[in-house]
Amino acid sequence: MDWFDSWAITLAVFLPAVGAVVVTVVPRDRDRLVRALGILFTGAALVVGILMLFGYDFSAPGAFGDGSAARALQFEANLSWISVIDANYHIGIDGVSLPLLELTLLLGFLCMVYTWRWLPEPGRPKAFVALLLILQTGMSGTFIAFDLVLFFVFWELVLVPMYFLIGYWGYPGRREYAAIKFFLYTLFGSVFMLLSFLAMYFRSEPHTFDIIALQQGGFDPTFQNLAFIGLFLGFAIKVPMWPFHTWLPDAHTEAPTVGSVHLAGILLKMGTYGFVRIALPVLPDAARVWAPWIGVLAVIAIVYASLACLAQRDLKRLIAFSSVGHMGFVMLGIATLTDVGINAAIFGMVAHGVITGMLFFLAGSVHERYHTREIAEIGGGMLQKVPFMASILAFTAIASLGLPGLAGFWGEVMALLSSYSPAEGLSVTLFRVLMVFGGIGTILTAGYFLWMLQRVNLGVVPDRWEPKRLADVNAVEWVAWAPLLVGILLLGLVPGLILGITSDAVASLTGLF
Amino acid sequence: MPFDVDYHAIAPELIVGTTVLVVLSIDLFLSPTRKWWAMPLSFLGVVAALVVELTLIGQERTSFTGSYVSDGFAVLFKTFFLSVALVVLALSLRYFRDGRYYQGEYYFLILSSFLGMLTISSSRDLLMLFISLELVSAPGFLMAGFRKRDPRSNEAALKFFLIGILSTAVMLYGMSLVYGVTGVLRLDEIAQQLAGEASGVEVAAVLFVVAGFAFKVSSVPFHFWAPDTYEGSPVPVAAFLSVASKAAGFAGLIQLMFFGFAPLAAFWAPVFAVLSILTMSIGNLVALQQRQVVRLLAYSSIAQAGYMLLPFALAGVSPAVDEQAVRAAVFYILVYAIMNLGAFAVVVAVARESPGVLVSDFAGMARRAPALAVAMLMFFISLAGIPPTPGFWGKFFIFQAAIAADQVWLAVVMVVNSVISVWYYFSVVRPMFFVEPAEVRPFRAPALVTAVVALAGVAVLAVGVFPDLLAKLPPAVTLP
């Protein structure tokens, strides 16, 4: 299967883009055909992704360090792209990118399935599906690019589709504000990231944009610290880390359901992935210098987000803020620069993608039934009114607060565990203090989720909903959600599903510190 | 010294020059309903010139004792100008025919201006540069006033003319000083003479010359004419001024600065840094407040000129960086032409039904003409510099040159500016896509205008994904 080896990733990434082109030439009145094509192309990409799992060598190390290890980068392709600047179409996967690529392919497919039944106002399926498909190409491309220029192009490719998804199909009122805020905020960060990329290019000898080659750069510490600032701005805004998070509650809340699922499920991971893939291995000395600061910001995010969640009255906004906290745990894990911490981070990324993606699906479906997202207006009694949906909400929320046995647990507990003994050279005292505050954060997280469940699920059905018939989970929703629900349970019971893939790759990354 | 003329090398100029005369004289014999025949005639002439120009690729030819050359740089720019001429002619046909303007005179003027652009690409001495530059500018003054019953058009022409001759006077004064100090006119000889200790007169002379070109490329503080002139001119003329005439200014400026005045780079490079920063910042900030799309594009094109001026601020570090800076500038000029002509083509189409072309006139375009709206979106994200578009690569190469020259702060200023620019480009995108049209009736654009939009759209896509297509073009930048 030589052919598949070098083209599998390209297929998985660009099939949706091809789908976007196909969709635009379909006549406007063929609504069902357009949605079917969306499912078909994302489904095909997912099939390619699953086939790749069979050809993947799980014992290989990650594409970090000297990169000389055999099959560090799998399904690799390296073609000349822009000769004048030595930018190449260099793609591949290792243990760090594989879980995220698969997550992207899965969520993209499930969102299309969900769209089969429910397309947000004001309709226009062609444009909606085409934008989702382009978005998916951008997201999945980010996780497989091993050339900084290619990485940047994929990274920015998500901006315009997401701008339109929020601005046109979002909830009326603040959607246009949320869309342009998202756009400008992330663009502002990423242009500084681009300058750092260019600076790294000129400091490397010979000049290169290749992420693996740059890891041999051995940049001097002063330069590393400066370049790290640029990368930090780009990645931290995308994550988003406190205090760069202000675009997130607006964007996530105003976006249509599948937009929120993509935002929370995948877009945020682009930032954390950037830290793991580029910032840490290429600028290891700077990473050591900045790690304590990142850790502090991460823990502020955890505590701040959980306090903010306690104050939310809007179901979707609550979930959005909870993302800030969960990404805080991911960043805390990364900041420890240890095996356990970075494994926790990648596990946390996948778990958060599955869980919070699911929560946003639920928020969308609840809004569709109740026509409100206000917790007070829903008023409780959902377990009686729509028992299945309420049970799923309870299950997912409990997974999100980190109950052992479900997916949310491992990422958080390992992140806290790793900050007990951070990497050599980092202040143990500081990280143990961070661990304590992070622990307080988990308690607060449990608090706001349980409180939310109490206000939404339990109690008696308010009078205004009593006479109304509300549909419970329907067939399409079951299909779209079942894989996520199974995933939440499986990842919780068998964390080795992810850790088995990541641990060798992470070991070769932490070997740099 | 023999008076050498290489007729093959100057054939494109001769063809265009002949076409100019034919168009003007044939207009006398055409009945009013057939005046538009001047356009296909001009088109044919330009195509013929373009074909001949393409035969000159890869050759080095000189005429008139080295004052007039046809090298890689000249061929690239001439091919570029002739292609732009075809596009501007295509945009003009229906606009001038349906608007009942003087057509024969218009095509005569615009071809004369393009003739000036051809000669500016080949000029390698001060006198030729000056004459060419005036040949580019003078028809522009007249064309800006072509909507003569509209007071804004009159104002446009007058403002353009007054600021134009003022800066010309300053530039000519500078050139005379250069000649006075060095005693030569050819750029390579000037470079030899200027090498060594720089005197105050030399620096002053160079700065005066820069002022003249700053007007041409609408750089701050000589930019005041641009918004009013663009707004008052016929839209195709505004497209012409913002792309072709600006690019001509840059073609001359590159020759002058990187070749003729290269020894004084240490003095003029910081001046360009200031000009560049002021131009991009003021252009972008004022553009934020525009509600009229042509004015918005005018300020946008001022800001874009600021980006194109940045490579000049990097001169004099090392030959390698100079080379990189010139390539970045040339590449940016090429992609700027594609995206800006595309945007103006859409404006030409809209101006047919709403001559005011306010931002609100674009409301609901996505409903009425989805393809046109998507094309406009592509041109705007390209102008804003978001990947994967040609505008992004243009900025990328400029950043790259800036960082190679260790002038990171210039790149940072430009980066902040490009983020600001997103706001006003999207202020047009927003109503196009997010606002429902007052009435959903189909949108009709003339076939030629549609063709230009389609062509520019394809070019934006192709160069966006494979920037090598254009980035490999400027090969012949051989610096002294």
Q: What's the ipTM?
A: 0.90
Q: How many CA atoms lie within 13 A of A65 on its CB side?
A: 17
Q: Which residue of B has its CA nearest to A170?
A: B434
For residue A188, the chain B residues in CB contact (below 8 A) are 419
For residue B466, the chain A residues in CB contact (below 8 A) are 81-82
Q: In this complex, which of A156, A163, A184 lies closest to B387 when CB atoms are compared?
A: A156
Q: In this complex, which of B327, B434, B468 lies closest to A176 when CB atoms are compared?
A: B434
pLDDT at res. B480: 46
pLDDT at res. A205: 81
> How close does chain A come to B400, measured CA to CA in Å?
6
> How close does chain B come to A192, measured CA to CA in Å?
8
pLDDT at res. A47: 95
Average confidence score pLDDT of chain B: 89
Which pair of structure tokens corresponds to residue B64?
A: 């008139």
- Mean pLDDT: which of A377-381, A455-459, B217-221, B248-252 is highest? B248-252
Q: What is the pLDDT of residues B254-264, one digit of tens each?
A: 989 988 888 88
Is the Cβ of B466 closer than 8 Å to some Cβ of chain A?
A: yes
pLDDT at res. B441: 79
Residue B479 has pLDDT above 80, yes or no: no
Residue A203 has pLDDT above 90, yes or no: no
> How close does chain B come to A290, measured CA to CA in Å?
22
Q: What is the pLDDT of residues A13-27, one digit of tens each?
A: 999 999 999 999 998
pLDDT at res. A71: 64
> How close does chain B come to A163, measured CA to CA in Å?
10
Among B400, B398, B381, residue whose Cα is nearest residue B464? B381
**For range A327-343, the mean pLDDT:** 93
pTM for the model stands at: 0.92
For residue B422, the chain A residues in CB contact (below 8 A) are 183-184, 187
Amino acid residing at B468? D
Which of A128, A131, A164, A195 has the highest number of chain B CBs within 10 A, making it the mutation to test binding with B? A195
Is the Cβ of B57 closer than 8 Å to some Cβ of chain A?
A: no
Is the Cβ of B208 closer than 8 Å to some Cβ of chain A?
A: no
Four-CA torsion B298, B303, B305, B309, nearest 10 degrees: 160
**Residue B62 backbone dihedrals phi, psi, to 5 degrees:** -130, 150
Number of Cβ within 10 Å of residue A320's Cβ equals 30
pLDDT above 90 covers what percent of chain A? 63
Contact A195 B434 (CB under 8 A): no
Q: What is the pLDDT of residues B327-354, one digit of tens each?
A: 999 999 999 999 999 999 999 999 888 8
> How close does chain A come to B247, measured CA to CA in Å?
23
Residue B30 has pLDDT above 90, yes or no: no
Q: Angle at the Cα of A113 (from A108 to A114), degrees rounded to 5?
A: 95
Amino acid residing at B206? V
**For range B475-480, the mean pLDDT:** 52
Contact B423 A180 (CB under 8 A): yes
Is the Cβ of B437 closer than 8 Å to some Cβ of chain A?
A: no
- Mean pLDDT: which of A11-20, A114-123, A498-507 is highest? A11-20
Is the Cβ of B307 closer than 8 Å to some Cβ of chain A?
A: no
pLDDT at res. B476: 52
> How close does chain A come to B298, measured CA to CA in Å?
23
Q: In this complex, which of B381, B399, B423 lies closest to A194 when CB atoms are compared?
A: B399
Residue A443 contacts residue A403 (beta carbons within 8 Å)? no
Q: What is the pLDDT of residues B429-449, one digit of tens each?
A: 999 998 888 777 788 888 899
Residue A69 has pLDDT above 60, yes or no: no
- Round to whole Å and give the CA distance between B89 and B274: 36
Four-CA torsion A109, A114, A118, A122, nearest 10 degrees: -30
Q: Which residue of B has its CA nearest to A81?
A: B466
pLDDT band at B200 (very low <50, low <70, confident <90, very high): confident
- Round to whole Å and give the CA distance between B430 and B409: 32
Classify residue A277 by its DSSP letter.
I
For B406, the 3-state DSSP assignment is coil
Classify residue A460 by its DSSP letter.
P
Q: What is the pLDDT of residues A474-502, one digit of tens each?
A: 889 999 999 999 999 999 999 988 898 88
Q: In this complex, which of B327, B412, B468 lies closest to A82 when CB atoms are compared?
A: B468
Residue A326 has pLDDT above 90, yes or no: yes
pLDDT at res. A76: 87
Q: What is the pLDDT of residues A154-182, one digit of tens each?
A: 999 999 999 999 999 998 888 989 999 99
Residue B156 has pLDDT above 50, yes or no: yes
pLDDT band at B320 (very low <50, low <70, confident <90, very high): confident
Classify residue B106 by its DSSP letter.
H
pLDDT at res. B73: 87
pLDDT at res. A98: 93
Classify residue A147 by its DSSP letter.
B
Which pair of structure tokens corresponds to residue B474?
A: 């400027």
Is the Cβ of A199 closer than 8 Å to some Cβ of chain B?
A: yes
**For range B247-252, the mean pLDDT:** 92
pLDDT above 90 covers what percent of chain B? 52
Residue A67 has pLDDT above 60, yes or no: no
Number of Cβ within 10 Å of residue B252's Cβ equals 26
Q: How many angstroms separate the most distant Cα atoms in chain B? A: 71
Residue B216 has pLDDT above 50, yes or no: yes
Q: In this complex, which of A84, A176, A184 lies closest to B471 when CB atoms are compared?
A: A84
Q: What is the pLDDT of residues A243-302, one digit of tens each?
A: 899 999 999 999 999 999 999 999 999 999 999 999 999 998 999 999 999 999 999 999
Residue B122 contacts residue B78 (beta carbons within 8 Å)? yes
Is the Cβ of A17 closer than 8 Å to some Cβ of chain B?
A: no
Among B140, B285, B309, B339, residue whose Cα is nearest residue B225? B140
Is the Cβ of B5 closer than 8 Å to some Cβ of chain A?
A: no
How many interface pairs between A and B have CB atoms less than 8 angstroms apart? 78
Contact B430 A167 (CB under 8 A): yes
Residue B403 contacts residue B412 (beta carbons within 8 Å)? no
> How close does chain B come to A132, measured CA to CA in Å?
16
Which pair of structure tokens corresponds to residue A1?
A: 């299967």
Residue A66 has pLDDT above 70, yes or no: no
For residue B471, the chain A residues in CB contact (below 8 A) are 82, 84-85
Is the Cβ of B471 closer than 8 Å to some Cβ of chain A?
A: yes
Which pair of structure tokens corresponds to residue B195?
A: 């090498």
